Amino acid sequence: MEALADDELRDALRDPAPKVRIRAAALTVGRPTVSPAPLLEDPSDDVLETAAWACGERETEDLDTVSRLSELATGHSNPLVREAAVAALGAIGHPNGLQAILSAIADRVTVRRRAVLALAPFDGPEVDAALRRASEDRDWQTRDAAELLTNPD
């Protein structure tokens, strides 16, 4: 109903219930005045996953957010959080996130697939080398994603 005020949404981002924070993170998409970035420090993996996704769905993100997403993409224990962070970095497309995406190419299969797709906005020799390696991955979906990016026709 679009009756939720920005201050109410910011309060929801700090709610003690993870389900409320998850919903609040999702509602920040399309709201440039309220960022989900503070939730990238949340103790709940489910909240982290949604906050990372929401960061990737925004028009722009600041360098602190890109840095935190990079940390999550390369160092978080939960593969769903790593996958969401990698996807967000690809959607944001900032060069500061590229190294984290390249590192994720060596992660578990779901993260590798996402990392290959996240390379779409980037170019250069490192990206080309990563796509060549991914085109020989044991997972056929990872190979297909690499093929799609290297030969879009």
Residue 88 has pLDDT above 90, yes or no: yes
Could you tell me the residue ranges of all domains in the chain?
6-150
pLDDT of the residue at 72 = 98
pLDDT of the residue at 67 = 97
On whether the CB atoms of residues 91 and 54 are closer than 8 A, the answer is: no
Mean of per-residue pLDDT scores for the chain: 95
Question: Quick one: fold of 6-150?
Answer: Leucine-rich Repeat Variant (1.25.10)
- Mean pLDDT for 56-62 is 85
First to last CA, the chain: 43
Please, which residues have CB within 8 angstroms of residue 91's CB and are 6 or more apart in sequence? 56, 57, 118
Which tokens go with 45?
């993996």
pLDDT of the residue at 1 = 55
pLDDT of the residue at 59 = 75
Give 72 or 31, the one with higher predicted confidence. Answer: 72
Closest C-alpha among 68, 67, 101 to residue 83: 101
pLDDT of the residue at 60 = 76
Residue 114 has pLDDT above 80, yes or no: yes
Please, which residues have CB within 8 angstroms of residue 136's CB and are 6 or more apart in sequence? 143
Residue 61 has pLDDT above 80, yes or no: no
Residue 14 has pLDDT above 80, yes or no: yes
